[in-house]
Amino acid sequence: MEPQKIALVTGANKGIGLAIARQLGGQNHRVWLGCRDLPRGETAAQSLREAGFDARALQLEVTDQTSITQAAARIASESGRLDVLVNNAGIMFAPPPSIAEESLDEMRQMFETNVFGVMLVTQAFLPLLRKSDAARIVMMSSGLASLEEALDLRGETWGVGFAGYCASKTALNMLTVKLAKELAAEGIKVNAVDPGLTATDMTGNGPGHAPEVGARPAVALATTHAYGPTAGFYACAPSGELVLKRW
């Protein structure tokens, strides 16, 4: 059996984050579940341990530098390195009536979590990722982030609003590319994923596939081999194969 890998998934106490953690646990990863609400994180981690996985809850608020620093120190102390970072934590508010009426305060909150929070976490954990032989960083983006798809009159996202949320994920895609280019020489692969419409609390548990399906592209890229992609934006086909998306 290959040596155990170490993974951190943010926003992992439920939904897609928990599904990613479960699937990584099934592929011989010790999974750290980064959660704002530690009691809920402990409950989620316990459910994974009862299923036979090595899972540990970690208090982690992605917009709080102190919380991030303490989380990085704990993983450094108990695991010594990090092989996989999945930046899954994110927020979205109810659809505004129009961009002309969208709350700028809500936009700021989304950028703080979906963009700046991701970078705070990534920067803090890079020293541990650099101790891995094959580190992987995965950004949880959205199909709504694609500029090309947003301009496609025939596409399913043409009439979608959510300007602030979409803009935050588009910004995250650019940071994904910049990080991938900078870290390529170190063998660290960085990709963004579109989980597709997934039934979670964020989407009101409405239409969409199960979190286990939405987790697949993130897990595929978190475990990609040495010749796998970097600086890409991917979704999963029904067959489970990765599909390159339009930026």
pLDDT digits (tens, 9 = 90+) for 25-60: 999 999 999 999 999 999 999 999 999 999 999 999
How confident is the model at residue 203, as a pLDDT? 67
Cα gap 148→132, rounded to integer Å: 35
Q: Are 53 and 20 in contact (CB under 8 A)?
A: no
Whole-number Å distance between alpha carbons of 142 and 165: 9
Which positions are catalytic?
165
Q: What confidence score (pLDDT) does residue 1 get?
A: 67
The per-residue pLDDT for range 207-227, each reduced to its tens digit, is 778 999 999 999 999 999 999
Sites in the chain below the pLDDT cut of 70: 1, 201-206
229-241: per-residue pLDDT in tens?
999 999 988 877 8
pLDDT value for 104: 97
Q: Which domains does the chain have, with CATH numbers?
A: 5-244 (3.40.50.720)
Order of all β-strands in the sheet with 5-10: 55-59, 29-35, 5-10, 84-87, 136-140, 189-193, 233-236, 242-244
The pLDDT of residue 178: 98
Q: What does the pLDDT read at residue 54?
A: 98
